[in-house]
A and B are shown apart, each in its own frame.
Chain A
Amino acid sequence: MRVESIRKRTLDSIQRRAEGFVPFEFDLCPSLLAEFTRRTGKSDYRDFFSMPFRWVSAGPQTRDIDFTRYFPDPDSVSHIDAWGIGHKAGDYAHFERMIAPMAGFTSVGEFERYPYPDPDNDFDWTAVTERIGQLKEKDLVSVAGMAVTIFEMAWYLRGMDTFLIDLMTDTDLAEYHMDRITRIRTACAARYAEAGVDVLHLGDDVATQRGMMISPEMWRRFLKPRLAAVIDAARGANPSIIIDYHSDGDITEIVADLVEIGVDQLNPIQPECMDPYAIKREFGDRLSLRGAVGTQTTMPFGSPDEVEFTCRRLIAELGKGGGFVLAPTHVLEPEVPWENIETLVRVVLEHNA
């Protein structure tokens, strides 16, 4: 019996070297994870369903810094992460509110004094190198999680409205802040690439479902060059690293820009607002697609038959020439029927058999 390496087939597919095999993946919210465990008695659905991708992350690790002084009302914050962003659990499902530590800053000096994480001291690179090696041995593909790369990290720290206004009226603050984040990201991108990670996952939600959240010109001025620097840093350390880029919403206007600066794979291509087939037609020779199964339509509200029809069509058309990972466009939320998840898995496994 010939045992094909899933890792090799997956990498061949996302680098468009082979067609046929379609990798797949999905994320389950905590209540669906509980449902999975109830049905299977297992705790790891990625293992159970033989999904090829596994996350690696070096951090930032928990830091011994008192961030509470950045919050006018520290009691309103239930948890502060290693970047200093405050979190407060909502009272429904896994949703939480974020509280920005830099909301009150008015001068570059305040940004300068802020304890941004240090790429050398606040990240654990030894553990990442080990984990990447272990994943390779297990015939799995390693993906370094570095989403919330620049734009989103900037506003998580600063507050969304405030940061968007900075981009219009206080560009010196916005640029200083983004540069600090970009420096951390470029250093980490290089470290992940040196450690031998297969895929570097980057992402910033820069669009709504009606189009770009900021103008394409603003994105090209402030974000494109910084994102390009992060990609270049990774490629400089490992030319064959795969760059996966995520943005929710309709980013049709900047897909060509993303390809130009070296993005290899786009995620999630929300079918409710973007046409994955059109993106495949226009960019399919240069760009792979990961996602495209609607989580506002097909997964929560479609019948199993509709899930099957949608997945078969996506596999047939987006899988041409390779370059397609079948995946829901977002974590599957509590209202997604289990039968729909089973259908997705069955369809893709039948195709790959």
Chain B
Amino acid sequence: MALLNDISEALQKGRAQDVKTLVQQAIDEKTPVREILEDGLMAGMGIIGEKFKNNEVYVPEVLIAARAMNGGIELIRPLLVEAGVKERGTVVIGTVKGDLHDIGKNLVKMMVEGKGMKVIDLGTNVTADAFVAAAKENNAQIIACSALLTTTMGEMKEVVQKAKDAGLHGVKIMVGGAPVTQNFCDTIGADAYAPDAASAADSALALCTA
């Protein structure tokens, strides 16, 4: 549908006002809200994610695309509730204890939301206990941990251990951040590693729908 494609295009260009106008138009034309979400907003964010992964767009482009997406979501939120459209999963995300870096974590959050999942953002300097408590409280399928520093990445092992101790066997632990590797992920017994934000969102969705 042309209008949904226009929403996707406007979102990719980060044109927040255009996205709002087009989404409102789609609502007025009685376009099913799931289509506005999936074929308009999420489609656009998916393309931005792929381009970001391939270094065809960069952080500023992602930020304005995500901002445009959020504007569109705000408009359709009541309709999503009404239509019973559920999120595709719930992810608790945060930067681990001791680490105050957040841009990478925020990018993952944007990409995961762009896949239609709910994100509970615990911010930075998050203890293993806080990850576990939030995962329980929100019935999350995934705990996603970020670290930029070799000094703090060890904390991820603590998260894996605490989740196990708390009996959160169904909850998958994802890890990422500059110094983190697949090998490190395997060593600490985490479930998935992603080298970039878009891949993290793909993995999260795969883990939620597996």
Contact = CB atoms under 8 A, between A and B. Distances in A.
Interface of A: 90-93, 95-97, 160-161, 164-165, 167-169, 208-215, 218, 272, 295-296, 300-301, 333-335
A334 B58 contact: no
Given A165-B64, A215-B58, A296-B178, 8 more contacts: A93-B98, A165-B63, A168-B61, A210-B55, A210-B195, A214-B59, A301-B150, A333-B151
Given A92-B97, A210-B195, A212-B55, A334 B151 contact: yes
Nearest to B101: A95
Chain B interface, DSSP helix/strand/loop, else mixed: loop
B58 A212 contact: yes
Contacts of B83: none
A178 to B, nearest CB: 14
Contacts of B98: 90-93, 95
Given A90-B100, A210-B196, A296 B63 contact: no
6 contacts: A92-B125, A92-B152, A93-B98, A214-B59, A215-B61, A218-B60
Interface in B68-112: 97-100, 103-104, 106
A303 B99 CA distance: 25
Interface residues on B, range: 20 to 34
Nearest to A210: B196
A168 B150 contact: no
Given A165-B63, A211-B55, A218-B58, A333 B149 contact: yes
Contacts of B100: 90, 95-97
Interface of B: 14, 55, 57-61, 63-64, 67, 97-100, 103-104, 106, 124-125, 149-152, 154, 178-179, 195-196
B150 A165 contact: no
A335 B60 contact: no
A215 B59 CA distance: 8
Contacts, number: 74
Nearest to B104: A208
A201 to B, nearest CB: 22
Contacts of A209: 178
A172 to B, nearest CB: 16
Contact of A296 (B60, B61, B150): B150
Contacts of A97: 100, 124
Contacts of B60: 164-165, 167-168, 214, 218
Nearest to B52: A210
Nearest to B125: A90
B178 A168 contact: no
Contacts of B99: 92, 95
A92 B153 CA distance: 13
A212 B60 CA distance: 11
Contact of B178 (A165, A169, A208, A335): A208
